[in-house]
Structures are given as structure tokens and as C-alpha cells.
Amino acid sequence: MLNLSNDFFKRRKLENLVENQTSYTLNNAEMHVFETYVEAEKVLLQFNDPVLASMIVGRKIMHLSNEKSFDFLPGESLILPANEPMCIDFPEAKSDSPTRCLAMAISNDKIKQITTLMNETMPKADGVEWDVMDYNFHFINDPSIYGIIKRLLYLFTENHPSKDFFVDNMLQELIMRILQCNSRKIHTNPNHKLYKTSRISFIVEYIKNNLDEPLSIACLSKKACMSESHFYKVFKNEIGLSPIEFINNERIKLAVELLQNPNKKIKEVYFECGFESRSYFNRLFKREKLVSPSAYQSKFKTTLNLS
């Protein structure tokens, strides 16, 4: 959970009960912390630069242009293009449990500098270039993005003479990781316009449909019509994971589904997911879910017996 420092609460002025704003301005970004202490509806907000919004505590209902309304909760973030209007409801805000959210507006020049660097050093396949999204992107923070946002929240509120330098370095990593996260979403979404024309999307779909088969870099690179080294580099650039990391993640997702059947044998599960070794499967599963496959499955056996 994101936390605000004691210094923040000492220095901020509480002047409004709805979207009370505390702002910090640096060379290439501004961070705003918004606090709401009463229920409210249809509160309007807009920024001149692209913005990353992340929930700290509480719940909002977001109404964005051309989208269905959705709950915005702690652990989630939202990327909005410049000048995108937001209409926000606060159905649960109270004086003793306020809603808190951070919004970080990042200058277009800084984003362009970072995407230029990515295109020079991390080129995509098929001539597609990295660029800031011109649409809304709502996602759950993965551990790496969460850690960066947490660090930025601290840096902006810290009184340090070099914080512009520190923040610029963190912004570069944040934007790179968010663009890779967005790219990963595109390559796993059959409805996206780029999905059907991308070789990486084709490989992602092939992996997901053949998890029980041996999946090697040699095999996948051949299907992508690339050399092994080029395929590995491009895949990792666009997905943010190596091909083997992505394959293992997808296999563990499938295992999670299969283990919800309490009658399924562990051996059947790891073979159906493409693992040849139970010890390797156990190690990866426990690293991801923090429990062993058998312990995870036992929860569903207990539920079945209780019913």
C-alpha cells in the first residue's frame, strides 16, 4: 500500500473537503495529492500534460470519455493523455476515511526524450515505434511499477536539493515499464488493431495455445521469421519479459486454473502445463503464489468438503 510521509501531513494545508490538492513541481513533472473527505459526485478534473493517476486509499468511480464507468481502487493506476477530461464520483469518502489519490503530470518533452531513447536502443519488430499512448490505460500495478511510484511519492515530498535529478532517473524507468506493460496488453488482446499484424502477437498467441508442448527459443524464432538473438531481444523489449519468463508465467496461470479442480492430480497439472519436472514446477508456482501447488489445491478441496 502506498503511504504518505509524516512530512506531507505536517506541511499540507487542508482547505477543501473535496479534492483538496497538495502540489509539488519539478523540472519535468508535477505531483498532486488529492484528498476527499465527503461523498461527492461529478467532480471534474483535467491536466495539460499526460498524467499517471494512482490510488493511495479509498475508492473512486471514474467516468472517462468513450468508456464505461469503472471503480478505481488502491493498487491500480491510470494513464491519461493530455487534456483528457475526468468526471469522478466519491461514493464512500468520509472525514475519518478520506479518499487519497496521486496524479503525476509528466511533460511531453520528457516523454518524447524517453521514447526516442527506447526507439534507438530497444527497437520493436515490424517497424512499429514506441510512443506515448493516445488513449486511456487502466492497469493493476505490478511490483516493479508499484516500487517506482512509491519511490517517486517519497522523492517529490522529500526536501532534498538533488531531487530533480533523482526524479528524472525514476521517470525514465517508470515510462519504459509502463509502455512495456501496455505493449504486453496489446499483444495479448485479439481485439486490438495491432494484434493481427504483429509477429510478436502471433508468437504470444502460439505460446498460449501450446503451453503443453516444448517451447524453445529456436522454435519460436523460426515461427517469427527472425534469428534467435534478434527474436529474443525484440520479444523482451516489447513484452518486458524474456520468452522463457513469459512462457513460465502463462504456464503458472494455467496451473492456477487447473488446480481449482480438487480431483486433478498434481502430476496431471504440471504435464498439461508443459512442465517436465515437478520440482521445477513447484519452485516456480511457490515463487509466484507463495504457496505450493498442493497447498493451493487443498483450499478448493476444503471448500468442496464444506459444501
pLDDT by residue (tens digit) across 38-84? 999 999 999 999 999 999 999 999 999 878 899 999 999 999 999 99
Whether pLDDT at 263 is above 80: yes
* Rounded Cα gap, residues 276 and 288, in angstroms: 18
- Spacing of C-alpha 44 from chain mean position: 25
**Mean pLDDT (the chain, rounded):** 92
Distance (Å, whole) CA 149 – CA 111:
16
- 6-184 folds as Jelly Rolls (2.60.120)
Whether residue 167 contacts residue 158, with contact meaning beta carbons closer than 8 Å, is answered with no
Considering only CA atoms, which of 50, 90, 49 is closest in space to residue 72?
90
Which distant-in-sequence residues (6+ apart) come within 8 Å of 256 by Cβ?
289, 296
The pLDDT of 128-136, averaged and rounded, is: 87
Q: What is the DSSP-derived secondary structure letter of residue 268?
A: H
- The span from the CA of 188 to the CA of 180, in Å, is 12
* Number of C-beta neighbours around residue 2 at 10 A: 18
Write phi, then psi, for 277 (nearest 5 degrees): -120, 130
Residue 90 burial (CB count, 10 A): 21
Percent of the chain with pLDDT over 90: 79
Q: Please tell me the pTM assigned to this model.
A: 0.84
Type of residue found at 35: E
Residue with cell 500534460: 49
pLDDT at 241 over 70: yes
Could you give the angle at the alpha carbon of 14 between the alpha carbons of 9 and 17, nearest 5°?
125
The pLDDT value given to residue 191: 73
Mapped onto helix, strand or coil, the DSSP state of residue 78 is: strand
Q: Over pLDDT 70: what percentage of the chain?
A: 96
pLDDT at 197 exceeding the cut of 90: no
CB-count burial class (<10 Å; 0-12, 13-18, 19+) for 172: middle
Query: Looking at the predicted structure, is the pLDDT value of residue 196 above 70?
Result: no
Domain regions of the chain by residue span: 6-184, 188-307
H-helix or E-strand containing 53?
Answer: strand 51-57
Q: Classify residue 123 by its DSSP letter.
A: P
Q: What is the CATH number of domain 188-307?
A: 1.10.10.60
Contact between 116 and 130 (Cβ < 8 Å): no
250-274 per-residue burial string, b: 16 or more CB within 10 A, e: under 16: bbbebbbebbeeeeeebeebbeebb
For residues 206-227, average pLDDT: 95
